[in-house]
Amino acid sequence: MTPEIMTLADLNLRLIAPELWMTLLSCVVLMMDVFCPKLSKPKLAYFSVSGMALITLQLIGYGIDGTGGTSFSGMFVLDPLAIFFKIFILLSTIVMILASIEAMEKIPYFRGEYYFLLLFSALGMMFMVSANDFLSLFITLEFSTFGFYILVAYLRDNLKSNEAAIKFFILGALSAALIAYGVSLVYGEVGTLLFEEIAANPPEYTIGLTIGLLFIFVGIGYKLGAVPFHVWVPDVYQGAPTTVTAYLSVVPKAATFGIFLRVVFGTFLELKADWQWMIVSIAVLSMTYGNITAIAQKNMKRLLAYSGIAHIGTVLIGMAAGTQMGVESILFYILTYLFANIGAFVVVIIFQNLTDKDDIDDFVGLNRRSPLMAFAMLVFLLSLAGVPPLAGFIGKVYVVVAAVHQGLIFIVAVALINMVISFYYYLIVVKKIYSVEPKEYTPIHISTPLKIAIYVSIAGVLLLGIWPDPFIQASVTASSVFADLIPK
């Protein structure tokens, strides 16, 4: 085999143009912050938002004209799945930056770096969903988490924030080590790192391969925060600035699912018997533990953290199904979760900007103080609980239908019973917001960017619930990349 010399033309830069623009954008934002100290920080935020909006448009264009292919010797892939996730990442980053502006103004220092770090993490995740071999999987996972370590510790004088960051960092490093070890074992067994080559020559079952797979799964389980790898989730969610928590609760998880799908379906589908039981057990544990523990929570962010753990479990059901429909349901579910969860956090952010409190009991009588916020919270929580006509209901039904088709009756029964358990704690919050009288009646003022974030989330939740077909079609298109590999 003669060594090939790679030229710039081989790289096919058009495929990574969005990432290049994103790199440029984040660097410009950082430089502007350094060299124009008089520039107001909200302007920086609006600049980042408009830049990302343009990149999103470019990606939508790619999606329409069907641009795709691999680059960097197959390490980087652009296909409908990657485009789906990249648009997802960019849109949620835009919403989160809008929601952060007011909260950032309250932080005494490093206001500008915040936007840079957010953009930088988004960039890492954009690379992550395009990763096409184990090496880039490892690098991009670490790349995206890197920004979050700093963001979690952003409240420098807050003890909880520091504690959260240390926990996050140590467990993140541990999971990185596990993934690296798992990858080395897999490489030792199959002799290649590229997903496509592994999928093309399905490896024989060996004990080393199973153990390697197990290590990778555990590492990814840490990133997802699935039980039993969840212990960092509540503390980090509570300690981190709420804007970061909101971002952390949705986007990295979605991106991790993007790469997880490739590992599971694009690479090791032949070993389904080996990984299915792992995923089923993680899913059952996550749903049950997350929901039951959420009942006892007194802090809003912790409640959402535990409910997030339960939702990860629900998404894993679609993965356990191991079919095309399962993948579609995962993509759709993540969309529904995005709007509902970010929306719920935006309400918490608004409340925290005003009062600096985030216990559930602080939210009592919210309806009397701000009907819009109360209604928004109602919609988001009910969507998370899975009540029609909201997005979460369709998402749950989709996932469950995909699993039932594969005869996974037990896990479906667990999922549905968990749905009722989750009703309980979501409705308790609804009760406090609507039924209990508040301690003070001062109306809450909502600034315009936050209002936009709320309206966008409500619209998303309602649209996905009432007219989901376009989004289902988008999920079908995105999951078509596995069409040759997995059963319908």
Partner 1 sequence: MINDYLLSIILFAPFAGATVLFFISNTQKDVVRGIAAFFSGLSLLASLYLFYTFDVSQGGFQFISRTVWSQTLGISFYLGVDGIGTPMVLASALLMFCGVFVSWDIKDRLKEFYINLLVLGSATMGVYMSLDLFFLFFFYELSVIPMYLFLIMWGRHTKGYKDMKGHINLAGEEKRESVGFILNFNKNSKEYAAMKLTLYLSFGAVVALMGILLVYVKSGLNTFDLLEIGEKGNLSLGVKEIGFLLIFIGFAPIAAIFPFHSWSPVGYAAAPPAASMMHAGVLKKLGHFTIIRICFYLFPEATAEWMPLVAIICIFNIIYGGLVAFLQKDTKFVVGYSSVGHMGYIFLGMASLNTISLTGAVFFLFADAMAMGLLFALAGFIYYQAKTLDIPSLGGLVHKMPFVTACFVVGGAASFGLPGGMNFVGEIMVFMGAWEIYPIQTIIAALAVVITWAYYFRMTRTMFFGKLNPALPDVKDARSWYERLPLVLLVFFTLFFGIFPGKFISVIEKGVTPILARFDSTAGSAIAQQTKLSTHIGDESIK
Residues in contact with partner 1 by CB under 8 A are 295, 325, 328, 367, 382, 387-389, 393, 397-398, 400-401, 404-405, 412-413, 416-417, 419-420, 423-424, 427-428, 430-431, 434-435, 468-469, 472-473, 476
* Closer Cβ to partner 1, 176 or 428, answer by number: 428
- CA 437/CA 209 separation, integer angstroms: 59
* Closer Cβ to partner 1, 240 or 325, answer by number: 325
* Closer Cβ to partner 1, 150 or 292, answer by number: 292
With a CB cutoff of 8 Å and minimum separation 6, the contacts of 177 are none
- Asked whether 405 and 324 are in contact (CB, 8 A), the reply is no
* Closer Cβ to partner 1, 38 or 298, answer by number: 298
* Closer Cβ to partner 1, 271 or 372, answer by number: 372
Measured on CA atoms in the order 292, 295, 301, 302, is the torsion positive or negative? negative
- Asked whether 181 and 174 are in contact (CB, 8 A), the reply is no
* Closer Cβ to partner 1, 460 or 465, answer by number: 465
CB 350 to partner 1: min, Å: 20
Q: What SS3 class is residue 110?
A: coil
Cis peptide upstream of residue 228 (ω within 30 degrees of 0)? yes
Q: What SS3 class is residue 133?
A: strand
* Closer Cβ to partner 1, 114 or 398, answer by number: 398
- For residue 432, give the nearest of 381, 488, 484 by alpha carbon: 381
Specify which residues 70 forms β-bridges with.
Answer: 77
What phi and psi values does residue 31 have, to the nearest 5 degrees?
-65, -40
CB 132 to partner 1: min, Å: 27
Neighbours of 434 (CB within 10 A): 16
CB 145 to partner 1: min, Å: 35
* Closer Cβ to partner 1, 176 or 436, answer by number: 436
Amino acid 92 reads S
Q: Which residues of 333-353 are buried (b: 16+ CB within 10 A; e: fewer)?
A: bbbbbbbbbbbbbbbbbbbbb
* Closer Cβ to partner 1, 151 or 430, answer by number: 430
CB 435 to partner 1: min, Å: 4
CB 367 to partner 1: min, Å: 8
- Asked whether 213 and 186 are in contact (CB, 8 A), the reply is yes
CB 401 to partner 1: min, Å: 6
CA 264-219-476 angle, 5° bins: 30
- Asked whether 311 and 336 are in contact (CB, 8 A), the reply is no
CB 72 to partner 1: min, Å: 34
CB 459 to partner 1: min, Å: 13
CB 398 to partner 1: min, Å: 7
* Closer Cβ to partner 1, 211 or 292, answer by number: 292
CA 422-218-162 angle, 5° bins: 75
476 class by beta-carbon count within 10 Å (0-12 exposed, 13-18 middle, 19+ buried): middle
Amino acid 327 reads V
CB 419 to partner 1: min, Å: 6
* Closer Cβ to partner 1, 30 or 390, answer by number: 390
314 class by beta-carbon count within 10 Å (0-12 exposed, 13-18 middle, 19+ buried): buried
What phi and psi values does residue 7 have, to the nearest 5 degrees?
-105, 170
What phi and psi values does residue 242 have, to the nearest 5 degrees?
-60, -35
- The tokens for 75 are 């390490």
* Closer Cβ to partner 1, 32 or 419, answer by number: 419
CB 262 to partner 1: min, Å: 22
CB 472 to partner 1: min, Å: 5
- Asked whether 121 and 144 are in contact (CB, 8 A), the reply is yes
